[in-house]
Amino acid sequence: MSGDIAGKVAWVTGASSGLGHRFAQVLAGEGAVVALSARRGGRLELLGAEIAAAGGRALVLPLDMQDVAAIRAAAARIADELGPIDILVNNAGISRQARLEAFAEADYDVVMNVDVKGAFFAAQEAARQMIAHQRQGRIVNIASIAAFRALGQQAPYSMAKAALVAMTKCQAKEWGRHGINSNAICPGYIRTEIGGDFWDTEGGAKLIAGLPRRRMGEARDLDGLLKLLCSGEASRFINGAAMVADDGAMA
């Protein structure tokens, strides 16, 4: 445990798997009290038990990020049970794949509602608490290199991640005066369960072969960047940044 994250109240959305699961583990390992939210409550319970067994403290909050009223209720419960939010890791996200001309309205809506609308209102609730309690807050929005390049058959996902980067800059401009830093992490190709079996297919192998070091990233490769952006002191002059961590994929 190191740095100034210890004792902070951190809310991680989309914590049931993938990057969110790892982010929650990292922050708990740094001594933060962690609120875990995602739709899959059973997985959150397992993660919460793991954190508790390691000597940490976690609050499990099953949550659908499409439900703004539920987001507000979750934020209020965090404040009641853990204290005001110091750190928000806005990680919850979803993707749907189809050609532009065939993309269904329902799939478009779920991507935008979870990836953009949900993230917007989670940040709003966290910032309200930070401002009211004069917290030197840290908001970390998890975007993607998809914000800067078109991914095949995933237009709404790329659009949503670009919106997160723009939202990050708006947050930095408006909330910086309150001592809140807002930044985005834009990962490259990271192996998580969201990618399913694609990386083991011929198409996945071809994509990996085109990367500078012919390798996928792992969730742990983002640990240092996460800790930097969640730190009060180390990130004091980093605000409004969209930080790419892609092992040179866009070089």
Catalytic residues: 157
One-letter amino acid identity for 179?
A: G
Decide: 23 and 2 in contact? Cβ < 8 Å. no
What is the distance of C-alpha 28 from the center of its chain? 15
Rounded distance, CA 48 to CA 93, Å?
Answer: 20
> What's the token pair of residue 216?
């996928």
- Give yes or no for a contact between 100 and 155, defined as CB atoms under 8 angstroms apart: yes
Give the single-character DSSP code of 19.
H
Integer Cα distance of 18 and 245 in angstroms: 16
Q: Please answer whether residues 15 and 91 qualify as being in contact, where contact means their C-beta atoms are separated by less than 8 angstroms.
A: yes
Closest residue by Cα to residue 138 from 2, 248, 1, 4: 4
